[in-house]
Amino acid sequence: MNARRLLPLLCLALIFAALPAQAHEFLVKPVKLTVQKGEVVPFSVISSHVMMVSEEVEPQEHVKLALVEGKSSTALSVTPNPMLFTLDGQLKAKREGTAILAGHREGVVWTQTTKGWKAASMKGLDGVIQSNKYEKFCKTLLTVEHGDDGWKQVLGQKLEIVPLSDPTMARPGDELGFKVLLDGKPVTTNGVLATYDGFSYETMAFAYSGEPRDDGSVWVKVTAPGVWMVRVEHKINQPTEDYNGHVIRSVLIFEVQ
């Protein structure tokens, strides 16, 4: 990456570094989403309020990644990149078709107190305002030479977005449907947000927002070519001695030609 492009990215990261870490979106983004079988493809784990520019390095010990190709799943390793605030790795697809790059940022408890946010249980803290466990998932669809029906595969993520049709075949102007699963069962979320890489450098700016239909499905109109992300959130209000609720976010990333 050249210095001209690197400088604004670093400035953005510094500006938003003070925002609460639990609010960052968890994204897994390869350098390209259409690849060749056997090609070594770099990818990055992004933690972002600005889509899709990373603003902090996710805790490596809480990030699990895998490349899913049909019934095969290969664990992937990453290393921190402090310059770009990412975790970086490489993948290599072994078969043609639609593969899924799957990511899980394990649950981390954040507690807001009268003295600010703390990455800790609320147990024993004074001045607690709220406390939640934040868990995040991401699926990125990769076309390996040509697509197949791998886009519809359910991975079993606690909160998972599953397309109703092949989003990699979408074109600008198309409206795409998705079902949202919680523990494998349909769930109605508060809404859906979607955007594409480079749409805006404003904090939490999305190109599309919508409400779920009566059956719980969510629909997104893609309006431009590029790398798109669809994002949903669900909160389980089951207090424990450590936190008040469990906030789960899920993202699906795919390319629109």
Nearest CA among 59, 106, 52 for reference residue 87: 59
User: In this predicted model, what pLDDT tens digit does every residue of 220-248 receive, in sequence order?
Assistant: 999 999 999 999 999 999 999 999 999 99
Can you tell me the mean pLDDT for 130-159? 97
The conformational region for residue 225 under phi > 0 = left, psi -120 to 50 = alpha, else beta, is beta
Q: What pLDDT is attached to residue 21? A: 53
Return the minimum-mean-pLDDT range out of 15-19, 93-97, 161-165, 191-195.
Answer: 15-19
Helix (H, G, I), strand (E, B) or coil at 13: helix
Q: Structural domain boundaries of the chain?
A: 3-156+232-256
Share of the chain above pLDDT 70, in %: 91
Q: Which residues pair with 175 in a beta bridge?
A: 221
Flag whether pLDDT at 78 surpasses 50.
Answer: yes
Flag whether pLDDT at 22 surpasses 90.
Answer: no
Flag whether pLDDT at 67 surpasses 60.
Answer: yes
The reported pTM is 0.90
Flag whether pLDDT at 5 surpasses 80.
Answer: no
Can you tell me the mean pLDDT for 180-198? 94
Architecture of domain 3-156+232-256: Sandwich (2.60)
